[in-house]
């Protein structure tokens, strides 16, 4: 790709982000997020429909199939903004469903009239997704599904293809658990569910793309938590001086800034390489690196932010607490650090 076409993603991203301000307030208000905590699935179906009206769920659906045909750079830009606003709606999960289903993507899910989430993970802390299909039916378990408690449709990814099943279909059981951020996480149990399985030869790439998009969400979360902390350091005074003038806190803040910038650079570079056709080995390796760095950064920044806020940081009234809870809930959604490091080590051994 050469010439003006190389920069198309910049204009596309700008338009996507401008549209997404209908979901993420420009003034940074978290009042809506606070109001959703502990309320059923923890998100607003009206916002799911709003995102559908903006065409966000068609971002990764090819133009030939009626989608927007956008790349990972645009998708990561959107997810970064959603992370800044702690948006709880399963927008990323529905974008993932659209990429998996492509031409079979249901219209009601594409426009947001129905809430669709993706069930792909076979066991916690892994990227395994091949289970779930037995003898032409759906059987088995899929875990760690955010937003499933408020879903109408579930896209189930298996080694035999991807199927869309209604939440209340015979043989479908959802086990819901409340999460620290005030939402819900579900485990899906499938017991001989009848469903049409659509072939999805690119499923592994879609899972990796969703993992990178999740790292972008954690990047946005980290950036906003850090910005809130800097604001606090400027206004909080001790011994007649802003605490941000204390050298020890300046050093800690500088370390966090460096880590955030490294994560940003990694996510943006990986998204660009994938959009430009990175080979599967590099795609997997770089995505894992971003996942690992994203989880570590989000947890470190949120933990340090609470420390720098002092006693105020552990009160429910402090917005920084919302970021801590979200980081603890989602940091390891696409894989525990030990599992990611094991995959990276295996890749190094294979390359050697």
pLDDT in tens, 93-134: 999 999 999 888 888 889 999 999 999 999 988 889 999 999
Integer angstrom CA distances of residue 209 from 171, 230, 288: 30, 32, 11
pLDDT tens figures, 248-282? 778 888 999 999 999 999 999 999 999 999 899 99
302 vs 5, which has greater pLDDT? 302
Cα distance between residue 15 and residue 2, in whole Å: 22
Give the tens place of pLDDT for each residue, 211-262: 999 999 999 999 999 999 988 887 775 666 776 556 677 888 899 999 999 9
Q: Encode pLDDT of 9-47 as tens digits.
A: 889 999 999 999 999 999 999 999 999 999 989 999 999
Domain boundaries in the chain? 203-351
H/E element, 28: none
Domain 203-351: give its CATH architecture. Up-down Bundle (1.20)
- CA dist 172 and 166 (Å) reads 8
Q: Which residue in the block uniquely carries the two structure tokens 């208000």?
A: 29
Beta bridge partners of 155: 118, 164
Q: Please state the length of the chain.
A: 352
Task: Write down the pLDDT at residue 82.
Answer: 98
Read off the pLDDT band of 351 (50, 70, 90): low
The confidence score (pLDDT) of residue 1 equals: 39
Helices 72-84 and 203-235, axial angle in degrees (round to 10): 40
Beta strands at 133-134 and 172-178: parallel, antiparallel or unpaired: unpaired
Beta bridge partners, 161, equal 158
CA distance 314 to 308: 11
């Amino acid at each position: 790709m050469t010439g003006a076409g190389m920069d198309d993603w910049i204009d596309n991203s700008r338009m996507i982000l401008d549209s997404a301000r209908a979901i993420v307030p420009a003034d940074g208000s978290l009042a809506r997020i606070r109001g959703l905590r502990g309320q059923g699935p923890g998100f607003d179906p009206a916002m799911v429909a709003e995102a559908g009206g903006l065409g966000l769920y068609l971002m990764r659906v090819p133009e030939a199939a009626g989608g927007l045909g956008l790349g990972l750079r645009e998708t990561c830009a959107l997810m970064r903004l959603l992370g800044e606003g702690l948006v709880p709606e399963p927008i990323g999960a529905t974008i993932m469903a659209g990429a998996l289903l492509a031409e079979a993507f249901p219209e009601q899910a594409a426009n947001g009239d129905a809430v669709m989430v993706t069930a792909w993970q076979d066991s916690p802390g892994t990227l395994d997704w091949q289970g779930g299909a037995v003898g032409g039916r759906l059987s088995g378990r899929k875990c760690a599904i955010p937003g499933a408690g408020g879903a109408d449709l579930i896209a189930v990814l298996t080694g035999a293809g991807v199927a869309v099943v209604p939440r209340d279909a015979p043989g479908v059981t959802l086990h819901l658990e409340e999460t620290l951020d005030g939402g819900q996480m579900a485990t899906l149990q499938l017991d001989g569910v009848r469903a049409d399985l659509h072939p999805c030869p690119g499923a592994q790439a879609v899972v990796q793309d969703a993992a990178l998009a999740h790292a972008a969400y954690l990047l946005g979360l980290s950036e906003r938590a850090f910005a809130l902390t800097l604001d606090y350091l400027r206004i909080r005074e001790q011994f007649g001086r802003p605490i941000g003038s204390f050298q020890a806190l300046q050093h800690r803040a500088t370390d966090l800034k460096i880590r955030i910038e490294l994560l940003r650079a990694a996510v943006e570079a990986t998204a660009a390489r994938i959009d430009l056709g990175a080979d599967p080995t590099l795609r997997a390796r770089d995505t894992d690196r971003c996942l690992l760095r994203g989880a570590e950064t989000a947890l470190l920044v949120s933990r340090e932010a609470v420390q720098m806020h002092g006693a105020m940081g552990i009160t429910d009234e402090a917005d920084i607490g919302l970021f801590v809870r979200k980081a603890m809930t989602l940091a390891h959604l696409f894989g525990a650090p030990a599992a990611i490091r094991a995959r990276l080590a295996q890749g190094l051994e294979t390359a050697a």
